[in-house]
Amino acid sequence: MVGLDREGVAAGRPNFVTTEPFVVGATCVLDEHAARHMRVLRLDAGAVVGVRDGRGHVGAGQVVRLTKTQAYIEISDFAVIAPLPEVHLLVPVADRDRMLWLAEKACELGCTSWRPVLWRRSRSVSPRGEGVAFQQKVMARMTSALAQSEGAWLPQPFPEATLERALLAAPPGDRLVLDPAGAPMVGATATVLQESIVLAIGPEGGIEADELEAVAASGFRAVRLGPTILRFETAAVAALAIARTALGTSSPTRES
């Protein structure tokens, strides 16, 4: 659920992410990464920046103090941004660098939740993206992407799961699995997409026949993107962009 702040209090400003509550007149403290970024941008005390918490709060504030390890921002205004219609991603456990790239792009495109799936063909990948340390890297990429894209909500992350567990935990809605033999995702013969959307992306080499049967038995319909076979990260970005465009956006609500 990633709302946008394209014309809001922080739009067009250097943006940073904080975990602290938003209170007008209060000072929030940003971490060493943010402080280093401010120095690279040649910002100093008195500069006005945007801040966001990844949970719908987007604000603006003035830098009151900047050290090597911390930045202190006095909040002057903030808004609560409504979430976008839900689009959930089931991504394959795969090459970790390509998963990190996809995590960044998924956040930019407004992914609601992110759950890696250990497909059968995922087990042959090395080095693959899994484990607690990798989950932290995923969130770091998403946090950076949130600030750059002026989003308001971080995707909800889930740890990797077997296919069986991922299907049991998948939210209800318009469930789609990418498959070259599926119906077109867009075009005159495509079915209209409905909120909320759940997108399942298979691994490199494709989904095994019995896995595809299990996915179909869980209410997923097969859709395709085009005439060629795409890498998983390309397919996920393309499908997410189509789904997000189809569902549109919600209007932000402003508070100060």
Give the span between the Cα atoms of 16 and 65, in whole angstroms: 15
What is the pLDDT confidence band of residue 118, given thresholds at 50, 70 and 90?
A: very high
Specify whether the CB–CB gap between 158 and 112 falls below 8 A: no
Residue 104 half-sphere exposure, CB side, CA atoms within 13 Å?
12
**Tens of pLDDT, residues 40-77:** 999 999 999 999 999 999 999 999 999 999 999 999 99
In this prediction, residue 248 carries a pLDDT of: 82
- Confirm whether 15-80 and 87-247 share one CATH topology: no
Whether cis (ω within 30° of 0) applies to the bond prior to 127 is: yes
Amino acid at 189: T
pLDDT 10s digits, 9-24:
666 788 999 888 889 9
| Domain locations in the chain as residue ranges | 15-80, 87-247
For residue 196, is the peptide bond before it cis, meaning its omega torsion is within 30 degrees of 0? yes
Encoded tokens for 191? 């079915």
124-160 per-position pLDDT tens digit:
999 999 999 999 999 999 999 998 888 999 999 999 9
The reported pLDDT for the residue numbered 13 is 83
Phi–psi pair at 17, nearest 5 degrees: -110, 135
Domain 87-247 is classified in which CATH homologous superfamily? SPOUT methyltransferase, trefoil knot domain (3.40.1280.10)
CATH of segment(s) 15-80: 2.40.240.20
